[in-house]
Chains A and B, each alone.
Chain A
């Protein structure tokens, strides 16, 4: 197994806010749905990237990870992350806070 670079910590990110709504179905059950609004909200969270790959890609991925906050625990190759960083995280910034390794 290859060695991976872990990039982790606490962050503040802008995540798309969702709105819930209900529709009464034919069988009488009120079903809940979520719709994406155009708005975003700032949330605090903790996350981690686990990057593997070549040196140059790793470097670029770590640089990119400075402003793309992970969606929870993201284990991805640096090359894939660089192709579509928005798939793996939200825009935001890292903050100074105690985290577990």
Chain B
């Protein structure tokens, strides 16, 4: 029998009312372009871009929307940007019924970090950052217990 590495589970944040996007294999300028275009088209007020690994970015918008509107926005971006990764991620979120973005480390990938902010950040962005802090705290405590 092959021996497997023991690992910690991946921690993420899920909800239905925050518009989130997960871009794979794209440059930062392209991600910023799509974030700005989406924000203006759907009047989402502001956004935060997080870098999850090389050429992989997460976008999270500030305004609260319904789940129906949320998926409408993600589908719109996936269709126009022709990003295969985003289209696949969109299907996964539809199956689950809520959208999730990773907060902790995932195998060799580091935890996502904020690289760009634009517009207002006082609604969903604020809540998301607060929860992210909590998850990071939990992760840190978990690592400490693993070390012992």
- Would you call A101 and B89 a contact (CB within 8 A)? yes
Specify which chain B residues have a CB less than 8 angstroms from the CB of A11 in the assembled complex: 9
Check: B50 CB closer than 8 A to any chain A CB: no
Q: Mark A1-29, 1 if CB is under 8 A from B, else 0.
A: 11111111101100000000000000000
In Å, the complex CA distance between A95 and B100 comes to 20
Q: Which residues of chain A are near B89, meaning CB under 8 Å?
A: 100-101
Contact check, A101 vs B101: say whether CB atoms are below 8 A apart: yes
User: When chains A and B are docked, how far (Å) is the Cα of A7 from the Cα of B131?
Assistant: 14
- Inter-chain contacts of B107 with A (CB < 8 A): 96, 98
B13 in contact with A95 (CB, 8 Å): no
CB of B138 within 8 A of chain A? yes
B67 nearest in chain A by CB position: A1
Contacts of B15 in A (CB 8 A): 1-4
Asked whether B38 is an interface residue with its Cβ less than 8 Å from the other chain, the reply is: no
Known: A4-B98, A58-B138. Is A96-B128 also a contact (CB below 8 A)?
Answer: no
Say whether A9 contacts B13, CB under 8 Å: no
**Which residues of A does B touch, CB under 8 Å?**
1-9, 11-12, 48, 50, 55, 58-59, 62-63, 65-66, 73, 93-101
